[in-house]
Amino acid sequence: MGALSVFGFLGSVFLFFYFLFIGKSLLIPLVLGFFLWYLVEATGRTLYKNLPLHFQNRWTKILTGILGMGAIVGMIVFIVYGIQNNLSEIIAASPAYQTKLQSVLGNIFAMLPGDAPITTEEIMSHIKLPELFKAVAANMTAIVQTLFMIVLFALFMSMEKNTVKAKLQALFPKPKNRERADKVLKNLDHKIRIFFTVKTFVSLSTGLLSYLVMKSIGLDFASFWAVMIFFLNYIPTFGSIIGTFLPTLMALIQFESMTPVLGILIGIGTLQVLIGNILEPRVMGRSLNLSPFVMIVSLMVWGALWGVIGMFVCVPLMVMLMLILSEFESTRPIAILMSQDGKLD
Q: What whole-number percentage of the chain has pLDDT above 70?
A: 86
How open is the CA angle 179-283-231, to the nearest 5 degrees?
95
Q: Is 30 helix (H, G, I), strand (E, B) or coil?
A: helix
Q: What whole-number percentage of the chain has pLDDT above 90?
A: 7
Predicted local confidence at residue 268, as pLDDT:
94
Against a cut of 0.95, is the pTM above it? no
Is the predicted pLDDT of residue 287 greater than 70, yes or no?
Answer: no
Predicted local confidence at residue 289, as pLDDT:
73
Question: Between 175-217 and 259-271, two packed helices, what is the crossing angle to 10 degrees?
Answer: 160
Residue 124 to residues 91, 120, 256, 262: CA-CA distances in angstroms?
Answer: 17, 6, 19, 23
Predicted local confidence at residue 14, as pLDDT:
79
- The model's pLDDT over 166-192, given as tens digits with 9 standing for 90+, comes to 777 777 778 887 787 787 778 777 777
List phi, psi (to 5°) of 6.
Answer: -65, -45
Cβ(236)–Cβ(295) under 8 Å? Answer: yes
CA distance 31 to 251: 36
Find the mean pLDDT for residues 147-176: 77
What does the buried/exposed string (b/e) look like for 22-57 if buried means 16 or more CB atoms within 10 Å of the residue's CB?
Answer: eebeebbbebbbbbbbbbbbbbbbebbeeeeeeeee
